[in-house]
A and B are shown apart, each in its own frame.
Chain A
Amino acid sequence: MNPLRLVIKELIYRRISSLVILFTVIVASSVSIAIYTLSKASENETRKIMREQGLNLYIFPKGTNLIDFYSVNNTQTFPEAYVEVLAESKTFDAVRHLTGILQVKMPEWKDGNGSVHQIILFGYKDEAIQRYLSRQETMGFDVKKGTVQLGALVAKNVKPGAPFIIEGSDGKSHSFIVAKRLEEGKGMRDQGVSFHLEDLQILLGMEGKINKIEALGCICHDGRIKNARSQVQDIFSDLEVTEISSIAEARENQRLMMNKYGVFIIPFVIISALLITGLLFHQNVRARNHEIGLLIAMGRSSYTILFMILFKAFILGLVGGMIGFFTGSLIAEYVGKEIFRFTAFSIKPVWSIFYYTVFIFPLLWMISSWIPALLATRIDAARILSEE
């Protein structure tokens, strides 16, 4: 008989013991997935808040008058190539995400009704991620070339997919597709239009120029401004760094705290479950010593015996891990909403870790059954089978 079939038959026959092992896998994976999902949601929400609130750091041309900058009256510019230089620099490791921005006031913009308004034009360069830091998802605004995102005030009566026509510095009309209407409450962006940097540079005749770099995801929690400032100025003496911290810093602290809890709780739960499973497998092998002894007497090799125990652990790890993924995601979604009000709407299954789940949990459970499996191969078949 095929050893795989034998394993399945035994699994079903000792269903209580199998269900207990499965339950420990589900608990371990659910807790891990729930914590990870919540921490990911918290991280995403933090990023959003940081972005909206203007944190972490802004890098401006040295001497920029910030009052002027925020009223968008007067700005100095610098080459957009600075972004790549910072991203490629080994000595600038205070910030992970860098977005070059060109932000310019347009005093006279005619809406669809012919009324004239003052709006702000934002051009976003594709985000650069610091090369010498670990990779993460991009955080910046993603505006595709040829499209625009309209602030809530500018977008009135405009539908996504409609053309957005604006006069350039060359006196000609330029047309873009409205990709998105932003919700209200985005600050200056409510009365702004977001372009891809290259589109805005062409529109304004400011090719290769930007006037600020938004630096998100600071990894120098303590004294970050000092680190970042000195690192930037070591590379570009014509730039300076400003930090605008607020709610975002508190959210960042919450995220870091969640990560700390996760780093402790996830291994604790998994290791506890592995130890319990190891004991359950040991018990299972003891209960089956006559069966295993018989298989040895019938010429089944140690590898076959080892394989049968490990395969059982693999099945339980795989099924438990998969069930745990969905259970954990549901727990995160429903329980998390009550606990983390700010992140409630960001809590979604993290599908990228589903693949890790189907790989890691079977592997971990095979490791937990390794010692019982080895003991099974060393069963003294002669003694066991001669017992009366």
Chain B
Amino acid sequence: MIDIKHISKTFKRGSEEYKALVDVSLKINKGDYISVSGSSGSGKSTLLNVIGGLIRPDSGEVIFKGENLYDQSGRFLDFYRKRDVGFIFQQFHLMPYLTVVENIGLSCYQKSHADAINDYLEKCSLVNIKDKYPSDLSVGEKQRTAFIRAIISNPVLLLADEPTGNLDPQNSEIVMTLIEEFHKKGGTVVLVSHDPVATKYSNLNIEIGHGSIHIPAQTFGK
């Protein structure tokens, strides 16, 4: 589905250069559940954002539906993020002035998406708080809201950046289960996490360090 070929990305901070990704190649097939682990600053989030069309690599290609994403127009990338990708972040990033339903509605671009909101709210036990604002929600409720927002428009790819980083074990389990359900329905997941628990759901675990990826042999065919 997505073929990442020889991606490199270097960031400059003042006079210093920091190599976030060095000649990274990776093939993501439809239905994959890939977990990416590594220490802070290893390049995990950079890889996720390159896949998500948010960071243009210095070299290499990200092939999606036969086209290199970064050879396309800005409009194409906007559409790619809107229709094909769903993001979940550690910090939830809910709009403080929108209710739960309205935050989820931000991702809806078809009537069928809006129609499905209530089903998801029920599934995620958020029905009773659907008209509340983020300031009135617990962290678990915030992340569940962010999860629904990410998948409500049926993206083919779910990119999760430390989705359980701010959650207690109970809420982490709930969110990981929700992601697993998305995967079981045919969704493709790339999940970046420090949490070793995250790897138990994935069929491919990638370790990343100093910008290079390492795929432990035992994870193949999981």
Q: Which of B25-33, B102-110, B178-186 contacts A (4 or more CB under 8 A)?
A: B102-110
Instruction: Select the stretch in B91-99, B122-130, B195-203 that faces chain A.
Output: B91-99
A67 on the B face (CB < 8 A):
no
**Interfacial chain B residues near A14, Cβ < 8 Å:** 97
- What's the minimum C-beta distance from A315 to chain B, rounded to whole angstroms? 15
A294 within 8 A of B: yes
Q: What CA separation (Å) do A385 and B96 show in the bound complex?
A: 15
Instruction: Please measure, in the bound complex, the distance between the C-alpha atom of A386 and the C-alpha atom of B89, giving whole angstroms.
Output: 7
Which residues does chain A contribute within 8 Å of B81, judged by CB atoms?
296-299
Q: In chain B, residues 73-114, which have Cβ atoms closer than 8 Å to a Cβ of chain A?
A: 74-75, 78-83, 85, 87, 89-91, 93, 95-98, 102, 105-108
**A-chain residues with CB within 8 Å of residue B93 when the two chains form the complex:** 290-291, 293-294, 385
A302 x B74 contact (CB < 8 A): yes
Nearest chain B CB to A22 CB, angstrom units: 17
A233 at the interface (CB under 8 A from B): no
29 pairs from A and B in contact (CB 8 Å cutoff): A1-B102, A1-B108, A9-B95, A9-B97, A9-B102, A290-B91, A291-B93, A295-B106, A297-B52, A297-B81, A297-B87, A298-B81, A298-B106, A299-B78, A299-B79, A299-B80, A299-B82, A301-B75, A302-B74, A381-B54, A382-B49, A382-B54, A382-B55, A385-B54, A385-B89, A386-B45, A386-B89, A387-B91, A388-B90
Is B165 a contact of A1 with CB atoms below 8 Å?
no
- Whether A356 sits at the interface, judged by CB under 8 Å, is no
Residue numbers in A under 8 Å from B89 (CB-CB): 385-386
Q: Is B61 an interface residue (CB 8 A)?
A: no
> Nearest chain-A residue to B99 (Cβ)?
A9
Q: What is the minimal beta-carbon distance from A71 to any residue of chain B, in angstroms? A: 80
User: Chain A residues with Cβ under 8 A from B55's Cβ?
Assistant: 382
B141 CB–A CB distance under 8 Å: no
- A159 → B minimal CB distance (Å): 65
Whole-angstrom CA separation of A386 from B50 in the bound complex: 13
A119-156 interface (Cβ within 8 A of B) = none
CA distance A298 to B91 in the complex (A): 15
The residues of B that contact A300 with a CB separation of less than 8 Å are 78, 82
How many residues of A are counted as interface, with CB atoms below 8 angstroms from the partner's CB atoms? 25
The interface of chain B, by Cβ under 8 A from chain A, is: 45-46, 49, 52, 54-55, 74-75, 78-83, 85, 87, 89-91, 93, 95-98, 102, 105-108, 161, 165
Q: Which residue of B lies closest to A300 (CB)?
A: B78
Residues A385 and B91 in contact, CB atoms below 8 Å apart? yes
| Contact B165 A388, beta carbon cutoff 8 Å | yes
Is A220 located at the chain interface by the 8 A CB criterion?
no
A207 to B95, CA, bound (A): 80
Of the candidates A290, A291, A295, A382, which one forms a contact with B45 in the assembled complex, judged by CB atoms under 8 Å apart? A382
Shortest CB distance B63–A (Å): 19
B54 near A12: Cβ-Cβ < 8 Å: no
* Nearest CB of B to A203, in Å: 75
User: What is the CA–CA distance of A209 and B200 in the complex, to the nearest angstrom?
Assistant: 108
Q: A382-B54, A386-B49, A388-B165 are in contact. List 14 more A-B contacts (CB 8 A).
A: A1-B106, A1-B108, A9-B95, A14-B97, A291-B93, A294-B93, A298-B107, A299-B79, A301-B78, A382-B46, A382-B49, A385-B91, A386-B45, A388-B90
